[in-house]
Chain A
């Protein structure tokens, strides 16, 4: 969409999946019933104001037994009927669509680990690891297994499905199924500290062939640097602290603290959707990561402008 810079929308009322769509209908249904109850009750208050000098029930007069009976009807009978209906629709029917997928009911699994403050994404059965951008084939049932890498986070892509927390010591799972190709934005939804606000992700749903090509590329080790500046950038990357925190598969950079950068250039954003992945913004990030996302674990490395330019040209070659 127009918001391609940082992923698509994040609007639970604009669903792009069966799951999210059912939740949306559940919402509109509940809103209509709630509206009737609300305006009915407020209507009674308005009536009370209109006939403030008159005792008793409108038209029926002061009949205490009947008045008490109406409290029972409005306070017990009507709620019981409405609640039973809501319970059946929401908690017995819709929940079947939105709950964690049964074993063997999905065609593929993706592991997502929440860390302060980005998402590690790895594809079962392949060496592919990436961060914050989750590609899935469209119209395919995908199981997402979510885990915590430090504190509790919550995996949430509202246009595709409800949220699921990452809980230490357990693996939770959730179904993702995109009805049509597109970019669907998500965000950590459980308060996780200083940069909770900058822990975005994007799910990219694409046709199976494109997805396969993408995954095949992701599974490969990083390409060798092309050209002198990039080669110098690679040397600088390995010689400085970069390599102790980041992994670039196929090189000696095997750090596990920050996001995997093997195919960084294929991603459209940096710092969990905080900024766009352009050479300019990447350079600004390397120069002063704390100014852009205060509190994140990446220190100011004290590199010169030309060193940064070399590292940027290396990283921007990691397609």
Chain B
């Protein structure tokens, strides 16, 4: 039956052979393929999303009426801390950078993998390890309970003597290593692995967002890590960094935490902005309005985000001058956000929008982000901030930002790229139903929180008295949270069923503009048979270039079939620079991940010598890691 193969077909067969992945579980454990790693990130972070969601539902059930007894005060405090830590560090950041970034960035820039595939695998195993590490604390009844920002002295040994806080500190240091490795990888990948011709001004806005996020993470995480190390030194060795009776300062914790913590907010939402700037052009059939301005705004948001941290601390008794500076800086952040917001709206207005599920999530995101952004502006009015900070008003604000502005686009992105990843289409009608259910649920859950805060309910109270006028709003929020959960279950069910039953689709069912749509669905291990030609920011809409790719495959130009290879290009102009040899699967990343997890477990148990042994084992693994592997010639 075999037809006579064209030269192009023979090249594809050869690439298939070179890039073939090991089958079975072992293949997944040793994989260095960015797509498989992206999927591992996806499943893991969704599992943590479920855990964080259950924690939220337990809290809402406790608060459905006054003097609730669903949770003990201690359990409630554990839930509120784990909910925050989980959603930020184990769900939103890993799913947006780890899953979306990993899976899509090499595809969008026409590369065959991330710049450092083994480091990429390592960052996943470290993330999984850190998540399991922190949940071990919960399973052992020693979960952190001092809130996700873990203020001292409450988190000091005197007031939190059990190991809960240690699970938090060590777990976040552990998690930070994963994010740092991943960020370095994204930066190098985006700078160096773009297909020849993709100069920086032709790079998708999605990649600009990830570039901004990666730099922000690299500069923000050291502050957190430093803070956590100081806290452990206080807790374990009796040092006094945060102890005013010995010359320490409790506000040092808050400053260091928020120098990390505020950029973190932009780290959370920028990938979502990237998703929005991918979905909107596709479903409005036009390029993003003000493209260069939006790219600049993405970078600026991440940059200015470093100068605003003390607006989380307006009630600690800063001098008025200091507070005014930080309020002014915080207001400046509004401008790049405003540019992006109106660029999305103008793109939708001047395009020909098709209101399908992915775009609906993005419209929902714009509405939620408007509310969250506007309530954020009110918090830059210092006297008002000092009135409502640490109340439900703030809880409303940041859930509009984190759930509305980050999770909505993430959910929209799941629908949007589902056909690319699976080769099948999701169920449109159920997709729209799940959107409206989630939108209704989140509005009922989070909107009344504004009012609750204004009428005096502080956040983080495990219960409240009956006569305060808070009961009705709390009841509404709890019902809303159940509806919200139902909407999310619908999303997952839709995607799971469509995985089996969905209509089979071709490479580019939505007519997307970026390169991930150029390859098959799901993409092959080597992503592209020929490295695609790029002459604009929406290369899929340049039909001549796509036809030329087909001819190049026949001619053998830019196929790179001599081994695990991908082209490297220059940082700004994207000129072809070199051919990079990429590693294939490897046992070292997971081994290093296990050694690191064991080291952190031993640090927690204060077995410092054994921890040192695991560190040494990790170093040995690194030696193996750096051994070269044979290349197919």
Contacts and interface: CB of A to CB of B under 8 A. Distances in A.
Interface stretch (B132-140, B151-159, B605-613): B151-159
Contacts of B73: 194-195, 197, 294-295
Interface stretch (B257-265, B328-336, B586-594): B328-336
Interface in A71-97: 71-72, 74-76, 78-80, 83, 86-87, 89-92, 94-95, 97
A87 B386 contact: no
A163 B389 contact: yes
B349 A27 contact: no
Interface in A271-309: 294-295
Interface string B350-363: 11111100000001
A94 to B, nearest CB: 5
A51 to B, nearest CB: 8
A137 B409 CA distance: 54
Nearest to A152: B151
B153 A168 contact: yes
A10 B455 contact: yes
B362 to A, nearest CB: 10
B456 interface: yes
A61 to B, nearest CB: 9
A41 B367 CA distance: 8
Contacts of B345: 41, 44-45, 48, 74
B467 A71 contact: no
B343 A71 contact: yes
- The size bracket of the interface on A is 35 or more
Interface string A55-68: 11110001010011
A256 B320 CA distance: 35
A146 to B, nearest CB: 9
A47 B345 CA distance: 10
A13 B454 CA distance: 7
Contacts of A83: 331, 334, 377
B350 A67 contact: yes
Contact of A163 (B315, B463, B467): B315
Contacts of B342: 41, 70-71, 74-75
Contacts of A75: 293, 335, 338-343
A91 B378 contact: no
Contacts, number: 253
B83 to A, nearest CB: 13
B374 A37 contact: yes
A42 B370 contact: yes
A312 B335 CA distance: 62
Given A6-B465, A10-B456, A48-B353, A86 B315 contact: no
Contact of A94 (B159, B286, B383, B454): B383
A190 interface: yes
A194 B338 contact: no
Given A30-B381, A41-B370, A162-B387, 6 more contacts: A75-B339, A98-B386, A167-B250, A190-B315, A197-B464, A295-B74
Interface of B: 72-74, 77, 146-147, 151, 153-154, 159, 244-245, 249-251, 286, 289-290, 293, 315-317, 320, 323-324, 327-328, 331, 334-335, 338-343, 345-346, 348-355, 363, 366-367, 370-371, 374-375, 377-378, 380-384, 386-391, 454-456, 458-465, 467-469
20 contacts: A6-B467, A41-B366, A57-B349, A67-B289, A67-B350, A71-B346, A72-B293, A72-B339, A91-B324, A91-B380, A91-B381, A150-B159, A152-B250, A163-B315, A169-B244, A191-B154, A193-B77, A196-B458, A196-B461, A294-B74
Interface of A: 3, 5-6, 9-13, 19-20, 22-23, 26-27, 30-31, 34, 37-38, 41-42, 44-45, 47-49, 52-58, 62, 64, 67-68, 70-72, 74-76, 78-80, 83, 86-87, 89-92, 94-95, 97-100, 116, 150-152, 154, 156, 158, 162-165, 167-170, 172, 185, 187-197, 294-295
Q: Which 8 A-B pairs have the closest CB atoms?
A: A169-B244, A90-B381, A10-B456, A162-B386, A197-B461, A172-B317, A75-B339, A75-B338
